[in-house]
Structure 1
Amino acid sequence: MKIVLCCAGGFSTTMLMDSMKKTVKDSAKLNEADFEFKAIPVDLLNAEVENTDVLVVGPQIAHKIDYIKPIIDPYKIPYVIVDKETYGKMDGATVMKMALIARKKADMNK
């Protein structure tokens, strides 16, 4: 599963991505080999949209969802917008759970 984290610049999102990777690594249920993570600025989304399974949107670019949706909708990519509190805590476990639920819901609606 390819999870793309999208933000304004990339630094803090890389920290969140590392927290998500650690969640997968420490999990008894999830397998590291099943996941690929990428943190990108929103401006590069067009280049990364193919083969993305879930898009994680940082709170600092939530206002850009009208820019993001036309890019991801043709690919039927589910997305989650991380709230400021979860993002501030760099809570990779919660974000990972949100991403997996979004993917599962999208698969059920196929």
Structure 2
Amino acid sequence: MIKILLCCAGGFSSSSLSTKLEKEIKESNLQNEFYIEFSPFLLSLSKISEFDIIVCCPHLRLEVQKLVKESNPDIPIYILPPRMYGVIYFKDLALDVTDIIDMYNKNKTNPVHFPGEEHTLRITRNVAYRNYKK
């Protein structure tokens, strides 16, 4: 099972997004494969050991850089593309999360990003990276 911690600044947008994604997990009968929980970003460090990946809202990019510099967590951190964050579907998130975990396990560098997506705010896709056609 992949356990995902979804973070935003205060937990407000991530809580509603997490509820939507939990519903999609249940509707797709993926409860044995994925678990998602939301948290304000500032509380994420206290929960890191319980999760396989931290997925952050796009507006947290500076906070993520600071976290990585100061404490370098030993799980992957992924910053969602802005357009994906607004209309996310769990099937796309699941693909990205699986790919990000694989990438992290190969090089242990955070935050993890896909090739060509070093600048989060410039990413225009709203689907999983592997399904995106430029």
Question: Residues 11 and 41 of structure 2 are in contact (CA less than 8 Å); yes or no, is this contact kept in structure 1?
Answer: no
| Identical counterparts, % of pairs | 26
- Taking structure 2 as the reference length, the TM-score comes to 0.65
Unaligned ranges ≥5, structure 2: 109-134
CA–CA distance in structure 2, aligned partners of residues 80 and 74 of structure 1: 12
* 2:3 matches 1:6: no
What RMSD over aligned residues (CA atoms) do the two structures have, in Å?
Answer: 2.4
What secondary structure sits across from 1:24 in the alignment?
A: helix
Quickly say closer, same or farther: Cα 1:25–1:108, change in 2 above 3 A: farther
- Taking structure 1 as the reference length, the TM-score comes to 0.77
Q: Deviations over 1:16-51 (max 9, x none)?
A: 2123223322336xx303333221111112211113
Quickly say closer, same or farther: Cα 1:105–1:14, change in 2 above 3 A: same
Q: Deviations over 1:46-93 (max 9, x none)?
A: 211113201101012112122232477342x11211111111124333
Q: Say which structure, 1 or 2, has more relative contact order (CA 8 Å, 6+ apart).
A: 1
State how 1:31-110 maps to structure 2 within 5 Å.
Answer: 31-70=30-69, 73-75=72-74, 77-107=75-105
Quickly say closer, same or farther: Cα 1:70–1:23, change in 2 above 3 A: farther
Higher helix share: 1
Question: Residues 13 and 39 of structure 1 are in contact (CA less than 8 Å); yes or no, is this contact kept in structure 2?
Answer: yes
Letter in 2 for 1:27: S
Instruction: Return the offset for 1:108.
Output: 5.1
Residues matched between the structures, number: 107
Question: Residues 58 and 81 of structure 1 are in contact (CA less than 8 Å); yes or no, is this contact kept in structure 2?
Answer: yes
Quickly say closer, same or farther: Cα 1:88–1:71, change in 2 above 3 A: same
Unaligned ranges ≥5, structure 1: none
Letter in 1 for 2:66: Y
* 2:33 matches 1:17: no
